[in-house]
Every structure is written in C-alpha cells, then in structure tokens.
Structure 1
C-alpha cells in the first residue's frame, strides 16, 4: 500500500492530467461528517478552509494547463450522500475547473469489462487503485504502473465515452436537489 505521503506526491508530480473514477454510493470521510450533517439539516453551504485549500490547489493546477477530471458511476435513484456529493461537491469543484461526468447505470449501461473499482490515473502512466471497506472508509491505495496501467487507461476511455457532463445530468434530475426533497424526508 502507498503511504499517505506517496499518494500525495502523485498529485504534486503529475505533468498533464489526472483522472478519477468513483463507484461508491457513500464515502465515509470523517472530515465530511459535519458538512454532510449541515447539508441534511438544510443549512447553507459553507466551504471549510481545508476544502477551500484543496479546491484552490486544483484550480491553480488547472490554470497552469493541467486537466483534472472524473467520472462517477452511479445508479438512480441516488443516496442522500450522493445528493450531497453532487450539490456540495461536484457543483462546487466544477466552478474551480474540474470536469465532472456522470455515468448513471439506470440510463446507460456500464461499458463491458469496467470494474467496480475506484482509482486515480496520473498522466496515463500511474494508477492509484483505491481500496475501501464495505462502509466506504478509505483503507489505502496500491500503485499500478507500466503495463499494468494499460487496463485503467482503457477503463477511463470507455467510461468517458459513455458518461455525460455532470451539469447536463444534474439539470435533468431536479428531484435530487435538496430544496426538492429535504422536506419530504422521513
């Protein structure tokens, strides 16, 4: 497994682009708990300093010519966590320049052979294969490079061909916006 420092170094060292594939319905990130609770309570969005620092780092990278993009493979109807992720995550990171795409398996088939795995792909050559427990808690990352990275480039290309821009998908699904469902929640 990669150490946290080794994983962070991949973000510092990539030259051209980084791609992220997400597949979970929930990520158990302790730093998100308070923000998720605020979202579910109907409170206004407030970006914490650590989140803002990450977004600004990403925006600086993008303004220097690097590409940051991701696809989340999900299935409608989506969980409350994914509603939060869409509204307070993807909508915000898009404003900082990240390209976000959705592959909704209720609308489009997952390309054949694409695994149910989360990963980062850096410059088409290094893959950080992300490991999570059944509750969505991050366990660590494994480095895959050289010929092993070829399959992940293929997965990226296949899901990018099948996915659609987040903004288009989000516009078609107003039912997932907090204002349209929070009051009817049990």
Structure 2
C-alpha cells in the first residue's frame, strides 16, 4: 500500500465533519487499556475515570458539531473482550457523543469479509489499523486519498447492514 505523509493523529486533529471507525476483531485485549480489561475480567467495577481522556476528546469534537461513529462486525457468543469493549467502552464513550452500531454476522454472511479495521475521516482520508494475531496494535497506515472512495463504500455497506448498538445490546448484551 502506498501511504501519505500524514499520520492518524493528524487526521484526528484536522477532520471537519465526521470520523468513522470499522472494527472487525473479536479481541483487542493487548491494545489500549490492558489494566482495565483485567479489572473487568476480575469482576471489579468500572472506575469513574475509565476512558476519561477519550471521552473528553469526544465531547470536544461532538460539541463542535462533528460526528464520531463506528460499526463493529461481530459474531455471538461474545468473547470476554467484546463483553468488556461493549459493556465498558461503548457505554462510557456514548456519554461523550460517540455513536455505535453492530453488524452481527452470527446468522448471516459477512458483507465485509477481508476488509481491515480502519478510520475514515470526512470521506476523504483513510487510516488502516493494523493488529497482530493476538489483538495487539501494530500501527496505522494512512492511505493516499485516491483510496477514500473504496473505504467510503465499506462504511456505507457496514451501516446498511448494522443496527444501532443500544437496540442490539438490549437484545444480546449482558
């Protein structure tokens, strides 16, 4: 893949309207807040300040009229990690204005087979998120804008097959 000279941080700092994320993995447990995941597994309550920095960033963006939303492609039964991510992460991040959708492929084919995790900003900038086989983040790759239309189609496909997280969680969540 040919990449741009920009990085993921640049894209978060400069997007004007919307940031969309596609998540495709069942386990990101070696990325992000590993200690919180272990606390969740141990049955500890969620700390009040869990994800506070991200929630504050979300509030800043959404308070300025920007949309941040994501679709997670998943299959039931949920992994321990997905119970953590959806139960702790999504619930908390919604308080900052982030929107979540679930594309449940338990009983249907995956319309996004082999599509990588990515962020799409303003339908014109793409950052592919790379992970190793254990859910550890291996870096992002910002693609040239010529690839944006391809990833916009992936976003549109994901949204066409997904349902709002609160509705899905009410049926299948904890």
TM more than 0.5: yes
Q: How many Å separate the matches in 2 of 1:156 and 1:124?
A: 9
Count residues in correspondence: 172
Unpaired stretches in structure 1, ≥5 consecutive residues: 178-186
Per the alignment, in what secondary structure is the counterpart of residue 114 of structure 2?
A: coil
Q: Is 1:105–2:137 an aligned residue pair?
A: no
Farther-moved stretch of structure 1 (25-34 vs 101-110): 25-34
User: Counterpart of 2:121?
Assistant: 122
Aligned to 1:76: 76
Partner of 1:77: helix, strand, or coil? coil
- What residue in structure 1 maps to residue 34 of structure 2? 33
Structure 1 pair 131/2, CA: closer, same or farther in 2 (3 Å)?
A: farther
- The root-mean-square deviation of aligned C-alpha atoms, in Å, is 2.0
Counterpart of 1:102 in 2: which secondary structure? strand
SS of alignment partner, residue 21 of structure 1: strand
CA distance in 1, matches of 2:119, 2:98: 14
Structure 2 unaligned segments of length 5 or more: list them. none
Q: Deviations over 1:105-163 (max 9, x none)?
A: 0144322x553310000110010011111111111111123221111000000110100
Instruction: Report what 2:86 is aligned to.
Output: 86
Task: State TM-score, norm by structure 1.
Answer: 0.85
The CA distance in 2 between the partners of 1:109 and 1:62, in whole Å, is: 33
Residue number in structure 1 paired with 2:143? 144
Q: Does structure 1 conserve the Cα–Cα contact (< 8 Å) formed by 2:55 and 2:96?
A: yes
| Structure 1 or 2: more helix by fraction | 1
- Cα offset for 1:75? 0.5
Deviations 1:2-40 (A, max 9, x none): 89x822111011010000000011113454221111111
Secondary structure at the aligned position of 1:136 is classed as coil
